[in-house]
Amino acid sequence: MEAALEAVYRADRDRVLARLIGILGEFDLAEEALQDAWVAAVSSWPTTGVPDNPGGWLVTTARRKAVDRLRSASASARRQRAWGELAITWDLGDGSGPIPDDRLSLIFTCCHPALSLEAQVALTLRSLGGLSTEEVAKAFLSSETALAQRVVRAKGKIRQAGIAYRVPSSAELPGRLGAVLAVLYLVFNAGYLPPSGAALVNVDLCAEALRLCQVVITLMPDQSEPLALAAMMRFQHARREARVDAEGVPVTLEEQDRRRWDGAEVAAGLELLDRARAMEPVGPYGLKASIAALHVAAPRPDLTDWAAIVALYDRLLAWEPTAVVRLNRAVAVAMAVSPADGLALVDDPVLARELDGYHLYAATRADLLRRLGRVGEAAASYRVARGQTNNRAEHKFIDRRLRQLEEPTAGPPG
């Protein structure tokens, strides 16, 4: 029975919660009512058996529990009002029909740009992922108390500032969908590249991000960008075994053992990307996934189609004219044309000013200088990069590069 309960919880929880927030108009009340309904399920299902439509049963029961809670809290004027609205819209079915799917409304509300990015991530993982605040705090290296306060504040703002519980209109959709996908990608990367010192969390954030992305794909089948993001996640995931060595030091794409890439993940990513590219226009995630696809499609690093990658970065710049995209394009130019051409782009004074203090800027510059044989300048730039990051694995990587630079020029002792 426990396994059956667990399966229902996993399959239906986010859909039931989304529906309850839609009905009750309040995150906290919906969460509490679902908790109550869950307790009722655990005590009654072992004798009555799991209902045919467990999700519908949970929604119906949680609505009753919400009424109980509102009655007992009737002193509060705000809750009184909610109770009045609830009574009017009350239509307690037998819970046998399908639950309307409110998960998109929920995800767009959680990822509303009027909320802080940290609150967006925490709300999404809590309400759609069922993670606890403690788990989210651990994964993102925040203090649990501070994160809990941000979540409370965000829920308060949703209610008081009138953030609507709905899917944005088509005119607003591109920007708002972009915000949702940014949150999902942030969650994926927190699982893929945990911040240094992050405690090991008992949740697979990569799998969770991919699952949520799949929910968006299912509910918005005519949008190409969620497909492209899922493809990108698959490509990244395919390389997970090869991206660090036995000592946990990052291995560059060029030096990775491509036999250790996961072929099934690559294939799944390519299939998603094909579906995305069949739709117009190709958006920023479509372009980034296309770039990643050119990397994974190359059997050897020297067979990478760098000219095509440069062309994709040119198109990406039209969507995202950011310094980081320009830096990545410069690397592609270095590979497609020559390290000197790449370095000239990296040394652009505007870019240098914008990325001042970003350790990957100094590290990229160091790498291009290394390729050009300018050993002294390369070492100096690696040392700058080393001072700009606290990540121990990155330090090890840079130290190794510095030793490699010193080796050929070091004279025999004595």
Partner 1 sequence: MRYMLIIHNDPELHPTPGSPDWDQLMVDYAEFSKQLVERGHAFTGDPLNDPSTATTVRVRDGQTLTTDGPFAETKEWMSGYYVVDFDSLDHALKAAAMVPSAKFGSVEVRPVAEM
Q: How far is CA 122 from CA 137, 184, 399, in A?
A: 8, 11, 36
Structural contact between residues 293 and 272, judged by C-beta atoms closer than 8 angstroms: no
Nearer to partner 1, 40 or 163 (CB): 163
What is the closest distance, in whole angstroms, from the C-beta atom of residue 155 to partner 1 in the complex? 14
Q: Which residue, 172 or 406, is less far from partner 1 as judged by CB?
A: 172
- Which helix or strand (DSSP H or E) is residue 234 part of? helix 224-238
Nearer to partner 1, 172 or 274 (CB): 172
Structure tokens at 318: 């039209």
Site residues for partner 1 per CB under 8 A: 112, 114, 160-164, 168, 172
Q: Which is nearer to partner 1, 1 or 114 (CB)?
A: 114
Best CA proximity match to 363, nearest among 252, 248, 240: 252
What tokens appear for 60 in the block?
């119906």
Nearer to partner 1, 56 or 168 (CB): 168
* Residue 128 C-beta: closest distance to partner 1, Å: 20
Is residue 316 a contact partner of residue 332, using CB atoms and an 8 Å limit?
no
Complete DSSP assignment for 28-74: HHHHHHHHHHHHHHHHHHHHH---SSHHHHHHHHHHHHHHHHHHHTT
Which of residues 112 and 329 has its CB atom nearest to partner 1 in the complex?
Answer: 112
Nearer to partner 1 by C-beta: 89 or 160? 160
How far apart are the C-alpha atoms of 223 and 226, rounded to whole Å? Answer: 7
CB of 319 to partner 1, least distance (A): 20
Q: Cα 343–361–235 angle (5° rounding)? A: 100
Nearer to partner 1, 114 or 199 (CB): 114
| Cβ 77 to partner 1 shortest distance, Å | 10
Sequence-ordered strand ranges (E) for 132-272:
none
Minimum CB separation from partner 1 for residue 4, in Å? 40
Distance CA 126, CA 159 (A): 17
Q: What six digits make up the tokens of 156?
A: 């308060």
Greatest pairwise CA separation for the chain in angstroms: 92
Question: Shortest Cβ distance from residue 161 to partner 1 (Å)?
Answer: 5
Closest distance of CB 163 from partner 1, Å: 5
User: Measured between alpha carbons, how far is 412 from 325 in angstroms, rounded to an integer?
Assistant: 43
Q: 3-class DSSP state for residue 109?
A: helix
Task: Output the smallest distance, CB 157 to partner 1, in A.
Answer: 9
